[in-house]
């Protein structure tokens, strides 16, 4: 008994000096009030062209152009052009944070928040934060996030898990076509110019992307993150980004209450997390039939998505998502103490387990490029 007491007494001392070695993800642990989340503001943007080249402007931004609402339903053939008019991005290329770092480097001298703001911030992709938000409810796919501290800033960059790599390399043809169909829907819904018309006859090139760079803060964690934006609505009540942006999504047509319930529990959670983070107010869904045609559209307001699961015992809770994300960011801040761009902490998570961490130096996990470190050190 005395021995056990000794261990218990030693524990708080241990906790004060050493960062936690793992972080649980059970939703019940994160129930509570919604944490502070600063209204996201757009700091800037950049574009990637058909060759995946970076441009510090909005050239790849497209304009929301829904079909006329004259009583007729749409009839978008999402399989049209596959595979002959499909130019998929090379997924073997691991871009990590590179394009975002390019933007940061270009704007570091004139960031709002004043000098020193960046040193206290977390820099990452919106998509990485989306995965953190949905973690307490995710039962299928794990993740790995690499973290380095450099000039005070904490950088987070996803690492493809071995399982995800196998899945990608053995992706069945139906799933490859389904991926194409998501992008094809964008082509039916967007014009290249404001007031222009759509042109579904062209190629679908997934190298092209428009990215918004946003500032926010979760709890006491200032955030600088970037996310791909599908289009801007020139008719939106306000033309101020990100409020004028629209996220486009496709989903299977639903015919039973069970299908609807599962859509609200799984898909709406992902749609909410992805659009809530950058403050994109509307998600326009195209529902496809088994033949791959979109025959109906529905706009979901990001801020109302939770209502579909509010009274569902097996639904999701935005507070849990945000509280877990805040807890993870604190865990990462406490773990990555040394300021060293060559030092990497790899956070790993598999469903049913806590987040664990391991320490690495240089290749293959170091992700802050020499060109960035050297230019920032000037």
**Site of interaction with ligand A3P (CB under 6 A):** 179, 182-183, 185, 230, 249-250
Binding region for Mg ion (CB under 5 A) out of 42-50, 82-90, 216-224, 245-253: 245-253
With respect to ligand A3P, which residue has the nearer C-beta, 146 or 211?
A: 211
Question: Which one, 74 or 341, has the nearer CB to ligand A3P?
Answer: 74
Longest Cα–Cα distance of the chain, Å, equals: 80
User: Which CB sits closer to Mg ion, 77 or 228?
Assistant: 228
Shortest approach of Mg ion to residue 62 CB, angstroms? 10
Number of H helices, E strands in the chain: 9, 19
CB closer to Mg ion, 283 vs 309: 283
Residue 100 as a binder of Mg ion (CB under 5 A): the answer is: no
Q: Does position 129 bind Mg ion by CB under 5 A?
A: no
| Strand 54-55 relative to strand 355-361, pairing | unpaired
Q: Binding of Mg ion at residue 297 (CB under 5 A)?
A: no
Strands (E), 151-230: 153-159, 190-191, 204-205, 209-218, 221-228
Q: Return the residue matching tokens 């000096």.
A: 17
- Which burial class, exposed, middle or buried, applies to 30 when counting CB atoms under 10 A from its CB (0-12, 13-18, 19+)? buried
- Give the shortest CB-248-to-ligand A3P separation in angstroms: 6
One of 43, 248, 343, 357 touching Mg ion (CB under 5 A): 248
Q: How far apart are CA 109 and CA 288, in angstroms?
A: 47
Q: What is the pattern of x (binds Mg ion, CB under 5 A) and - over residues 211-230? A: -----------------x-x
Q: For the residues of 274-336, what is the DSSP string, one character each?
A: HHHTTT--EEEEEEE-TTSEEEEEEEEEGGGGGGGTTT-TTS--HHHHHHHHHHHHHHHHHH-
CB of 54 to Mg ion, least distance (A): 17
* Contact residues: Mg ion, CB under 5 A: 228, 230, 248
């Amino acid at each position: 008994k005395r021995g056990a007491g000794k261990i218990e007494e030693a524990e708080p001392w241990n906790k004060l000096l050493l960062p936690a070695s793992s972080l649980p993800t059970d939703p019940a642990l994160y129930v509570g009030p919604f944490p502070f989340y600063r209204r996201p503001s757009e700091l800037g943007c950049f574009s990637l062209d058909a060759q995946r080249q970076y441009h510090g402007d909005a050239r790849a931004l497209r304009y929301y152009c829904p079909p006329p609402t004259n009583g007729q339903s749409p009839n978008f053939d999402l399989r049209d052009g596959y595979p002959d008019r499909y130019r998929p991005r090379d997924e073997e290329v691991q871009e990590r944070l590179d394009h975002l770092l390019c933007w940061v480097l270009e704007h570091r001298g004139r960031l709002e928040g004043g000098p020193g703001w960046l040193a206290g911030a977390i820099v990452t992709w919106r998509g990485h934060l989306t995965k953190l938000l949905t973690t307490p409810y995710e039962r299928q796919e794990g993740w790995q996030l690499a973290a380095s501290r450099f000039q005070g800033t904490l950088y987070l960059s996803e690492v493809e898990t071995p399982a995800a790599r196998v899945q990608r390399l053995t992706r069945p043809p139906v799933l490859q076509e389904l991926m194409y169909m998501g992008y094809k829907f964008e082509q039916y819904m967007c014009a290249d110019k404001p007031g222009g018309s759509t042109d579904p006859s062209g190629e679908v090139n997934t190298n092209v992307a428009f990215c918004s760079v946003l500032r926010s803060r979760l709890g006491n964690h200032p955030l600088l993150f970037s996310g791909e934006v599908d289009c801007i609505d020139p008719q939106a009540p306000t033309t101020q980004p990100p409020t004028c942006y629209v996220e486009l999504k496709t989903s299977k047509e639903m015919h039973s209450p069970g299908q609807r319930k599962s859509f609200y529990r799984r898909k709406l959670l992902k749609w909410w997390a992805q659009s809530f983070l950058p403050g994109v107010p509307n998600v326009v869904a195209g529902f496809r039939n088994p033949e791959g045609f979109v025959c109906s559209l529905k706009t979901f307001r990001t801020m109302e998505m939770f209502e579909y699961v509010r009274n569902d015992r097996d639904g999701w809770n935005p507070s849990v998502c945000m509280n877990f994300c805040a807890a993870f960011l604190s865990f990462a801040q406490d773990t990555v103490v040394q300021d060293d761009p060559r030092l990497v902490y790899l956070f790993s998570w598999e469903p049913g387990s806590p987040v664990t961490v391991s320490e690495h130096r240089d290749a293959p996990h170091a992700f802050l490029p020499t060109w960035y470190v050297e230019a920032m050190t000037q």
